[in-house]
């Protein structure tokens, strides 16, 4: 039997995933973080992207989109506190494309009262959602 670690992925609205995994990948600010059971303690911010969870006895990774948040790793437990989190299968590609388009237009049409940081954040989240959808499609769903 493979070693496992308990993972909780929660957002302000709900718990998205709670269970044991053999391996997990998170979108860290400096790149992807691969975490195995018994990893040393870690606390870091995560950026918008895909959380991939290798559940025992499943061939495919469980995928969850997160819009950013915090990742806490303990040897026997991993917790993701996300601003927003959604199961990859629940993402709406049309909405993500529209959000990406709006953010790109806002970045091009800046005015004095323009909130550059908000537009950049919206663009990053839309791109991350689209990448999550593409990963889901690649595995045949």
Provide the strand spans (E) within 22-121: 23-28, 31-35, 42-46, 49-54, 62-66, 69-74, 77-82, 85-87
Q: DSSP alpha helices (H): ranges in 26-140?
A: 93-108, 116-138
pLDDT digits (tens, 9 = 90+) for 59-106: 989 999 998 999 999 999 999 999 888 887 777 777 777 877 777 777
111 with 126, same domain?
yes
Task: Identify the CATH number of the domain in which residue 111 sits.
Answer: 1.20.5
23 with 81, same domain?
yes
pLDDT digits (tens, 9 = 90+) for 1-52: 679 999 999 998 899 999 999 999 999 988 999 999 999 999 999 999 999 9
Q: Provide the domain limits for residue 52.
A: 5-87
* pLDDT confidence bin for 135, thresholds 50/70/90: confident
C-alpha 15, offset from chain centre: 14
Phi, psi of 120 (to 5 degrees): -65, -40
């Amino acid at each position: 039997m493979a070693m496992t670690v308990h993972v909780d992925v929660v957002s302000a609205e709900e718990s998205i995933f709670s269970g044991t995994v053999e391996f997990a990948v998170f979108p860290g600010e400096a790149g992807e973080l691969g975490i195995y059971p018994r990893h040393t303690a870690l606390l870091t911010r995560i950026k918008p992207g895909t959380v991939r969870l290798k559940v025992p006895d499943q061939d495919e990774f469980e995928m969850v989109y997160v819009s950013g948040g915090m990742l806490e790793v303990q040897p026997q437990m991993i917790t993701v506190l996300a601003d927003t989190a959604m199961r990859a299968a629940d993402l709406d590609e049309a909405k993500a494309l529209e959000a990406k388009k709006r953010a790109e237009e806002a970045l091009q049409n800046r005015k004095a009262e323009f909130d550059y940081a908000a537009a950049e954040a919206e663009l990053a989240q839309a791109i991350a959602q689209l990448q999550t959808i593409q990963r889901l499609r690649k595995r045949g769903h």
